[in-house]
Amino acid sequence: MLIIAGHLVDPADRDGYVADCVKVVEAARASAGCLDFALTADTTDPARINVYELWETDEELMAFRGSGPDDETSARILDADVKKYRISAVEAP
């Protein structure tokens, strides 16, 4: 299992970016192997977009990702800190 987590920065139009990603979130959640997917506006930083994804396998993640975001979407992201985490166990809290 994989978690993709971190944040993106779009200080000019964070809320617009998040709104424009609704179809991406819907497509991800409908994809094989996607257990959760969210791009959300941070509650305290007006430029920060939080990223959270939960995938069953690398192959399913890569099948969804394809070639990645288009040039216009990439140009809107001024900075990013997103990492992939491999989960070895899941336990009840």
Give how many domains the chain has, as a whole number. Answer: 1
- CATH code of residue 55: 3.30.70.100
Structural domain includes residue 91: no
Structural domain includes residue 42: yes
In three-state secondary structure terms, 55 is: strand
Structural domain includes residue 77: yes
Enclosing domain of residue 12: 2-86
pLDDT at position 69 is 63
**pLDDT tens digits for range 44-85:** 999 999 999 999 999 999 999 875 566 677 778 888 999 999
Structural domain includes residue 35: yes
Structural domain includes residue 61: yes
pTM of the model: 0.88
HSE, CB side, 13 Å, CA atoms: give it for residue 92.
0
Distance, CA of 65 to CA of 78 (rounded, Å)? 20
Q: Which of 73, 7, 65 lies closest to 33, judged by CA?
A: 65
